[in-house]
Amino acid sequence: MNLSLNLVAIKTLIHKEVSRVFRIWVQTIVPPAITMTLYFIIFGNLIGRRIGTMDGFDYMQYIAPGLIMMSVITNSYGNVVSSFFGAKFGRHIEEMLVSPMSNAAIIIGHVAGGVIRGLGVGLLVTVIALFFTRLDVAHPLIMLSMVVLSSTVFALAGFINALFAKKFDDISIVPTFVLTPLTYLGGVFYSISLLPEFWQGVSKANPILYMVNAFRYGVLGTSDINIVHAYAIVLLFVAILFTACLMLLNRGVGIRE
């Protein structure tokens, strides 16, 4: 593999992806900002005042890390799935497929684009959160590493969705029926210690629970789960999903007849 060629190709692809995010900012940046503002107003401010504290924090403070992570996850996923499927649908994916850039470079470029959008939106949501509550970062490295890794996991998952998608409906099925329920049940709005023991066990099968809690630990210093377990699970997902993406792309699934 020609390393310098692929580095230039990755840089080009990232530049293209970031340009796309800014070109259609009304679709990519504004909606999550509005949605999260509403979450903070309704769940944090209006309802949260009646709930009181959770794990020793104001309810608003408690849900803020989860809401930030939720926006990062959905935007990382959404960016890759819509960009890659859009390229498939418009056939300009052929620009990459006929070029000598490697399949790994195609994955890395798209995933990096998704991560950049996820982190950008996450930063915007953090700024919005600061209008409603105070966030003192307890463990900055854990916070940063976990948000980047979680974003990578969902950008990779979005890539796989885009490979298999044949029509626009196919890129909304997974976010609607899988991602959203898992996120809502992933401890964004509550501590799983509130659940009966059986449902605590079930919740622990949800990978988003580990991401949200590890991120919350990075911000607030509190978590329902073991942080080491969270890192192990997230890193395992990154490895498995990247390998799956590479294998699918090498076989030409969804892109070559």
Partner 1 sequence: MKALSIKNLTKTYANGNQALKGINIDVEPGDFCALLGPNGAGKTTAIGIISSLVNKTSGSVEIFGHSIDTELEAAKTHLGLVPQEINLNLWEGVANIVRTQAGYYGLPRKLADERTEKYLRELRLWDRRNDAARSLSGGMKRRLMIARALVHEPRLLILDEPTAGVDIEIRRSMWDYLQRINAEGTTIILTTHYLEEAESLCRHVAIIDGGEIIEDAPMSSVLRQLQREVFVLNIDGELREAPTLSGFETSLRDDGDLEVVTSKDRRLNDLFAELDRNDIRVVSLRNKANRLEELFMGLVENKPGPAE
* Contacting positions for partner 1 (CB under 8 A): 1-2, 4-6, 8-9, 11-13, 15-16, 19, 23, 87, 90-92, 94-102, 252, 256-257
Tell me the closest approach of the beta carbon of residue 90 to partner 1, in angstroms. 6
Q: Three-state SS across 114-161?
A: HHHHHHHHHHHHHHHHHCCCCCCCCCHHHHHHHHHHHHHHHHHHHHHH
Nearer to partner 1, 29 or 238 (CB): 29
Nearer to partner 1, 20 or 216 (CB): 20
Nearer to partner 1, 109 or 186 (CB): 109
Tell me the closest approach of the beta carbon of residue 88 to partner 1, in angstroms. 11
Nearer to partner 1, 60 or 96 (CB): 96
The structure tokens 């991602």 sit at 179
Taking the C-alpha atoms of residue 61 and residue 253, their distance in angstroms, rounded to an integer, is 44
Tell me the closest approach of the beta carbon of residue 253 to partner 1, in angstroms. 11
Tell me the closest approach of the beta carbon of residue 17 to partner 1, in angstroms. 11
Give one DSSP letter per residue of 45-75, joined into a string: IIIHHHH-EETTEEHHHHHHHHHHHHHHHHH
Taking the C-alpha atoms of residue 204 and residue 107, their distance in angstroms, rounded to an integer, is 29
